[in-house]
Amino acid sequence: MSKQPVEQFLDSSRLKQAYINGEWIALSGNAPFDVINPATEEPAATIHLGNRDDLNKAVAAAKAAFPIWANTPVETRLAALDKIIELIEARTELLANLMSLEMGATLAYARGTQVPLAAAHIRVARENLAKYEFTEMRGTTAVTREPIGVAGLITPWNWPLYQVTAKVGPALAVGCSIILKPSELSPLSALAFAQIIHDAGVPAGVFNLVNGNGIDVGEPMASHPDIDMISFTGSTRAGVLVAQAAAPTVKRVGQELGGKSPNILLPDADFASAVGPGVQAGMRNNGQSCSAPTRMLVPRERLAEVEKLAAESAESIVIGLADNELATHGPVANKPQFERVQTMIQRGIDEGARCVTGGTGRPEGFDRGYYVRPTVFSDVTPDMDIAQEEIFGPVLCLIPYDSVEHAIQIANDTVYGLAAHVQSTDLDAARKVARQIRCGQVLINYPTWDPQAPFGGFKQSGSGREYGIEGLEEYLEIKAIVGFETQA
C-alpha cells in the first residue's frame, strides 16, 4: 500500500535539512529535536536544528539573491504569488495534518481555518502588490519606496502557517529576500511551505529556511549585520531580547507581541447574542492567540446573567482527538504551555476569583495529552494576575464595571494594547468607546475577519503593523529623489 502524503513527508529527509539557495541541504548543526504531538505526548517527527553556520549560509544566499529579486518586474512577482496560493490550496490536506500533529489543531479547524487564512495572507499581498504605487511625485521630488533588503522572519508555534504567510507574502511581494526561522516546536507546516515556495519556482536564494532555537539561530538572526530587518511574532519577553540583539546594527524591528484583549459589553448590548460568541472568540485556537479577547467586561448588575451564558458557551466546546469531526478543540500546543495554563488557573482560584466552569486538570475522559478544561472565572478584579497576564489558554475572565468610563479604564489598565472588542446595539456608542481604547485593532460586534485591516500593538504589544497595505510597507524603505523633474 502506498503511503499517504503526510507519511511521505514525515519520512522525507527534508525534516533534517535546511532550505538554502533553492536546495535542501544538510545542517551543520545537525542536532536532533523531537516535535511532540500534543494529543499523545509522543514524538510526531524528529527534525534537526541548525546553528550560526547554517544561518550564515542562508544570509549569504539571500544577500546575493536580493538585487535580482528586487528588480524583477511586478508581473513576475505576481505570478509567483499566484502559484503559491494555488499550491497551498492544493496541499490543504497535507498542511492540515501537519498542523494537527505539531500543535494540536483538530483536522476540521486546520482545514477550515488555519490553512484558508494562511492562503488569504498571500492573496492579500498579491492584491496589494498589483495596485501599489512605488513612486509618487511631490512637485519636482520623487518619493520612492524600495524593498528594505534581506528580511529575517521569526514565527511562533500557535498559528504556525498563518504567521509564516503573514510575513512571507508581503516580503516576497515587494522584492525582499528572506530567511525564515519557524518555531522549533511546530516546524512541520513551515517545512512543507518551503517546498511550496520551491515548487512555485521562486528563484534560488530568495526564500531560505533554517530550523533552530532562539539561542543558536534566532539571536544571531537579530544581530546579523547583513540582515536588514527582523519581523518577530512571539512573547513580549522574547521580543525584548530580539530588539536588544538587533540594536547594535540599527536594523528595523517589527514586533507583534503579547496581548490581554478586553471585550466590552456595553449596557445596551444584546447579551443573549453577545456573550456566547465572546466566549468562543476568547477560546478560539484554545485561547492561543495573542489577540484573544480573554477579559469580558460587563455591567456589574448583569454579572450573574453573563456568568450563566458564558458557562453554557464554554461547556458547549467539544474537546477531542484530531480526527473527531465533532470536536471543536484539541489540546494546547505543548507541555510548557499546558503547565503554564494549569498554573494560571490555580492562581486565579488562589487569588479569590470564582471558577464558574472548568478548572485545573484534564477534561473528563482524558488521561494523557495536553488537554485543558475550558475555564470561566467571575468576580475577577483588574489587579489579579489572571486579569493582567497573558495566559494563552482557554481561560476567560469576567470583570464587572460600574460605568462605561470605568470599563474603558479597565480595558486600558494593562501593559498590553493589541486588540479589543466592543459590543453594542448603538453603533455610534461603540465607535466612541473604540476610539478611547489604546490598542492597535478594535472589533465592533464580532465582524468578519478582514485580512486588509492592519494589525499590531500599542505599548508592550509591539511595534509596526502586519496585514493590509501597512503590512506591505513594513518591508519598504523610503527614498526621496529631489530634483527628479525639472522645475518649470
What's the rounded mean pLDDT across residues 429-448? Answer: 98
- 398-416 pLDDT per residue, tens: 999 999 999 999 999 999 9
pLDDT of residue 29: 83
Phi then psi for 269, rounded to 5 degrees?
-60, 155
Q: CB count, 10 Å around CB of 435?
A: 9
Joined grid coordinates for residue 237: 519577553
Pairing of strands 252-256, 17-20: unpaired
Sequence-distant (6+) residues with CB within 8 A of 7 are none
Catalytic (active-site) positions = 256, 290
Contact, 362 vs 331, CB < 8 A?
no
Grid cell 505543548 in the structure block, residue = 334
Query: Which of 44, 35, 41 is closest to 369 using CA atoms?
Result: 41
**Edge-first strand listing for the sheet containing 295-299:** 354-357, 375-378, 395-401, 295-299, 262-265, 419-423, 441-444
Q: Is the dihedral of CA 375, 381, 382, 385 positive or negative?
A: negative
The yes-or-no verdict on residue 2 having pLDDT over 60 is: no
Confirm if 165 and 467 have CB atoms less than 8 A apart. Answer: no
Nearest one of 349, 359, 334 to 385, comparing CA atoms: 349
1 pLDDT tier (thresholds 50, 70, 90): very low
**Cα–Cα distance for residue pair 320/216, rounded to 1 Å:** 36
Give the mean pLDDT of 227-236: 97
Averaged pLDDT, 249-253: 97
Written as one string, the DSSP assignment of 137-203 is: EETTEEEEEEE-SEEEEE--SSSTTHHHHHHHHHHHHHT-EEEEE--TTS-HHHHHHHHHHHHTTPP
What is the SS3 assignment for 357? strand
Q: Is a pLDDT exceeding 90 seen at residue 204? A: yes
| Residue 308: pLDDT over 60 | yes
Q: How far apart are CA 364 and CA 315, in angstroms?
A: 12
pLDDT at 488 (0 to 100): 67
- Distance of alpha carbon 149 from its chain centroid, rounded? 23
Neighbour tally for 206: CB within 10 Å: 25
Say what the pLDDT of residue 4 is.
79
Tell me the per-residue pLDDT of 136-167, one tens digit each, with 9 for 90 and over: 999 999 999 999 999 999 999 999 999 999 99
Give the mean pLDDT of 369-380. Answer: 98
Output the pLDDT for position 315. Answer: 98
3-state secondary structure of 307: helix
Q: Which of 114, 112, 92 is nearest to 103 (CA)?
A: 114
For residues 106-120, give the mean pLDDT: 97
Q: Which of 254, 269, 297 is nearest to 167 (CA)?
A: 254
Q: What is the mean pLDDT of residues 46-68?
A: 98
- pTM exceeding the 0.85 threshold for the entire prediction: yes
Domains and CATH numbers, the chain: 5-257+463-479 (3.40.605.10), 262-451 (3.40.309.10)
